[in-house]
Amino acid sequence: MEWLTRGGWMMYPILLCSVVALGVVLERFYVIFIRYAQFSQEQFDKLQDLVKKGDIKSAKEMLKQQSSAQKSIYLAMLNQQDEGSQNKAAELEGNSILFRLKERLSILSTIGSVTPLMGLLGTVFGMIDVFSKLAQMQGAANPGMLADGIWQALLTTAAGMTIAIPVVLFYHFFNRHIENIIHQLQTTANILADQLSNIRSAKNAKNTATIDKNRDSK
C-alpha cells in the first residue's frame, strides 16, 4: 500500500486497469473453457453414427444436452433441408460463436498496450516534480534526496509493465485457444456437411428409383 501512495496519482488508474483485466481474464476462462468447452472426439463420433443411420431426431436431442461451441452450428445444419441453407446457417452460427468467444478480448489488448504508457507518463510527471523541487532548492539538494525522488517516479513504470506483461500473455493465450476451436469447428462441420449431403443424395436416388419403378409398372 505504501508503494501505491508513493508512486503518485497515476498508480490508481493502473490499479483500476489491473482489476478490470483480472475480471475479464476470469470471465473469458469461464466462457472459453467451461461454457463453450470443445466437443470431444467421442461425442462427435456418436453424432456421426446417428447421422449415418438417418436418426436426425436423436442427433438433435443429443446436441441439445451439450454446452460446447459446436452445438449451435451442428443443430443449425441438421435443421436445414438443402445444402445452400445448411451452409448459410453454419456460416451465420460460426460468426456468432466467434464473436462470443472473442468478446471483451479487445479490453485485454487495450490494457496491455496502455498500462506501460500510463506508467511511463507517471514517471515523467514524477521526474518533472523531482527536478522542479531541485530547481527551487537551487542546488542544495543532496544525491540521496534526488535518488529517493527518482525511484518513487519509476514506481509507476514498474507497475504499468507488471500489469501489462501477464495481460498480453493471457490475450494471446485466449486467441490461440479460440483459433484451435475455430479450426475444429471448420473441420467437423465439413465432415458433417458431407454426411448430410450423402444422405440427401441417397434419398434423392431412392425417390428417383421409386418414381421410375412406378412409371414402368404403368
What pLDDT, in 10s, does the model give residues 48-57? 888 888 788 8
Taking alpha carbons only, the member of 164, 121, 120, 122 closest to residue 8 is: 122
Helix (H) or strand (E) holding 19: helix 11-30
Terminal C-alpha separation, the chain = 95
Instruction: Quickly count: other Cβ atoms within 10 Å of residue 65's Cβ.
Output: 8
Instruction: Examine the pLDDT at 25 and tell me if it is beyond 80.
Output: yes
Instruction: Examine the pLDDT at 218 and tell me if it is beyond 80.
Output: no
Averaged pLDDT, 126-148: 71
